[in-house]
A = this chain, B = another copy of it.
Amino acid sequence: MVEDDGFRALDRQECLALLAEVPVGRVVYTRRALPAVLPVNFSLDEDGSVLLHSSAGSDLVRAIDGAVIAFEADEFHAASRSGWSVVVTGRATVVTDPAEQARLSRTGPVSWMHVRDGVFVRIESEMVTGRELTAVA
């Protein structure tokens, strides 16, 4: 469906396929009652959850563990004024199950940052929305 503003809404499968193509997205959350955003590299789990790798004691992990957050990724091309964006909204939780930790150590993302006492964070893909902008005449 092409909306009034020139965007086409993407379905969940389209959104997850696009998310799988890019290495970096943005965690959107609330910190000290203000909107906050931090880009991170990520991967997708088999069920479509977003997986992050970070330091256990980082401000990010402390701020988002247990909270409902948004995770956004996009890709735009200035020359054609086209592109897409996808937003996953869901609960973020630090993975504590040892078997799950072991699995993600093999298959999960490796942070681009220096990580101390690394933990994996899972963002459930409870709500997945996306839109595609095609060139405007």
Contacts and interface: CB of A to CB of B under 8 A. Distances in A.
Interface string A74-86: 1010100101010
A104 interface: no
Contacts of A117: none
Which secondary structure characterizes the binding site on chain A? Answer: strand
A107 B26 CA distance: 30
A136 interface: yes
Contacts of A7: 113
State the oligomeric state as a number of copies.
2
B37 A87 contact: yes
Interface residues of A, number: 38
Nearest to A29: B35
Contacts of A38: 85
A63 B23 CA distance: 30
Interface of A: 4-7, 23-24, 26, 28-30, 34-39, 41, 55, 58, 68-70, 72, 74, 76, 78, 81, 83, 85, 87, 89, 112-116, 133, 136
| Pairs A-B, 3 closest by C-beta atoms | A81-B112, A35-B70, A6-B114
